[in-house]
Structure 1
Amino acid sequence: MPITFTDQLGTLHSFEQNPKRIVSLVPSQTELLYDLGLEENIVGITKFCVHPYHFKSTKKIIGGTKKVHIEKIRLLEPDIIIANKEENTEEIVNSLSEICPVWVTDVRDIAMNSQMISDFGELFNCRTESKKILDKLTFTLADFNRFMTGKPWRKSAYFIWKDPYMAAGGDNFINEMMRLNHFTNIYEDRGRYPEVIVPKLRIQGDPELIFLSSEPYPFKDEDAFEIGRSTHHAKTIFVDGEMFSWYGSRLLKALPYFRQLQEKLA
């Protein structure tokens, strides 16, 4: 009798048994699958799936997140392909659906992140491993929230791209991580990833903190100088983009990183 599961877009998927052969199109979800003990089940990953490091030599690379090699994926004979609403395009999802079910996640906040981890536990029959990660997250989040109690909120901007300059807006996981850290995002109401005219930064929000992410664009010192001089008094800080934008089990590593960041800012 077939078993059915519903992904985070509300799509119902039917399987004869729990899927075994997995192709992952999302770096942070590849890391989660590994942490769930599913290394042997992962048959294909993107070139951006850099954690764990040894996967680049043990797993088949099937392209990037926005451009995949469909025939390479077909030859891997996957039972399921894991995609994400933000990372991958609807065109990719529709094309790959001809090969096998494409499970699409949608993670914009901590609750949706926990739902994804729980879903994977059911989908891949690794409920014990999933619960262990969720229990650790519950404990670590509660501890971090206690640590943040009483700390002031600071007006901030988080840059992700140059030429054109783009920042994290609202309704995405980066913004959720900013809120967790009491960073008031000056672009929260400007869409998900608004373009920013740097000389107008002072007028648009006058942030106290400007974060320059290590990915997807690797900002350099000259970028910090150009952006920093557009503000009255903002402090420009280089941050690890994976800690702010990778969901899944990466949040367990991000919380200690955020604590260190808060201590430096203090």
Structure 2
Amino acid sequence: MLPKQPLLDAIGQQHTVALDANTRIVSLVPSITELLCDLGLAHLIVGRTGFCIHPAAMVKAIAKIGGTKDVNIEKIRTLAPTHVIVNIDENEKPTVDILAEFIPHVIVTHPLMPSDNPELFRLLGQIFQAEEAAEKLIQEYELANAELSQHSSNPPERVLYCIWQDPWMTVSSDTYIANMLKQIGWTTWAPADAKQSYPVFEWSEETLRPIDRILLSTEPYRFSETHVDALEKQIGKPVQLVDGEMLSWYGSRAISGLRYLKQLAQN
């Protein structure tokens, strides 16, 4: 049975249920690849990026087609996909425009809030006829969210979330990461004049003054405890290593991400 509500992606494009048995998906988004696998759709994925590493056992046999931003167009063409799934932040629009010339269905994603995840589960579940699996994930998400909301709130904190060094980069308040951290009362600092989602910043007394704690993410830059120790000695503020996948990956990883937030709030 076709869904009553239109299947609209992040830019308002309407999609239809993939009824063809020859459905072939290329995913250019690591967290979406994981979500598709958790929806039981791994057998439909014919291409993925090199950053699509979860779940490892399932993605191992899926062809790599470059990175999220340096996509191998010709390799994708040879895979003859019927669908490609992209993300506004992670993939370049000129690349997506080229792919749209020969791939019939381009599904655009752009979750900005943790609460956007159930809609994403339902959209992909309906398009690829995995409604039951999608509803199960939605229930798991809602349970994890309820458990987090029952956690007693800690005093609000201002955090500096670092995703890169040389140059140092952070996240703006309108990103998925920032909105995840808001679930436990942590607001992110970014330069006042920042016009990008992931702005560059410099360390200074002015930067550090309003900051309660610095968070070093394990991705995309591979910060480690060694970086934590060195930075803490340098700036004299609390520095903490956090799991970047748990805080930046949407899709099914968001369920574990909410539980991870609860752990952070308790530390």
- What TM-score do you get using the length of structure 1 for normalisation? 0.89
Q: Give runs of aligned pairs for residues 56-205 of structure 1, distance below 5 A.
A: 56-100=59-103, 101-147=105-151, 149-187=152-190, 190-191=194-195, 192-198=197-203, 200=204, 202-205=205-208
CA distance in 1, matches of 2:245, 2:18: 36
SS at match of 1:261: helix
Encode CA deviations 1:91-141: one digit per residue, 9 max, x unaligned.
111010012121110111023222211111111111111111111111210
CA distance in 2, matches of 1:16, 1:140: 30
Q: Does the Cα contact within 8 Å between 1:175 and 1:188 map onto a contact in 2?
A: no
CA separation of 1:259 and 1:111: change in aligned 2, threshold 3 A: closer
CA separation of 1:137 and 1:188: change in aligned 2, threshold 3 A: farther
The aligned counterpart of 1:11 is 13
CA distance in 2, matches of 1:228, 1:68: 38
Range moving further from structure 2, 47-56 or 234-243: 47-56
Q: Does the Cα contact within 8 Å between 2:114 and 2:254 map onto a contact in 1?
A: no
Encode CA deviations 1:36-85: one digit per residue, 9 max, x unaligned.
01011111110000101124531110110001111111111111000000
RMSD after superposition: 2.2
Q: Offset of 1:173 from its aligned partner?
A: 0.7
Q: State the one-letter code of the partner of 2:140.
A: K
Q: State the one-letter code of the partner of 1:134.
A: I
CA separation of 1:16 and 1:50: change in aligned 2, threshold 3 A: closer
Range moving further from structure 2, 36-45 or 11-20: 11-20
SS at match of 2:239: strand
Gaps spanning 5+ residues in structure 1: where? Answer: none
Paired residues, what number?
A: 259
Match for residue 26 of structure 1 among 12, 29, 41: 29
CA distance in 2, matches of 1:227, 1:169: 21
Q: State the one-letter code of the partner of 1:17.
A: L
Encode CA deviations 1:118-167: one digit per residue, 9 max, x unaligned.
111111111111111111111210111111x3321111110001111000
Identity across matched positions, percent: 35
Q: State the one-letter code of the partner of 2:38.
A: D
CA distance in 2, matches of 1:43, 1:16: 15
SS at match of 1:161: coil
- What TM-score do you get using the length of structure 2 for normalisation? 0.89
CA distance in 2, matches of 1:16, 1:259: 37
Q: State the one-letter code of the partner of 1:262.
A: A
Is 1:248 aligned to residue 251 of structure 2?
Answer: yes
CA distance in 2, matches of 1:181, 1:53: 30
Gaps spanning 5+ residues in structure 2: where? Answer: none
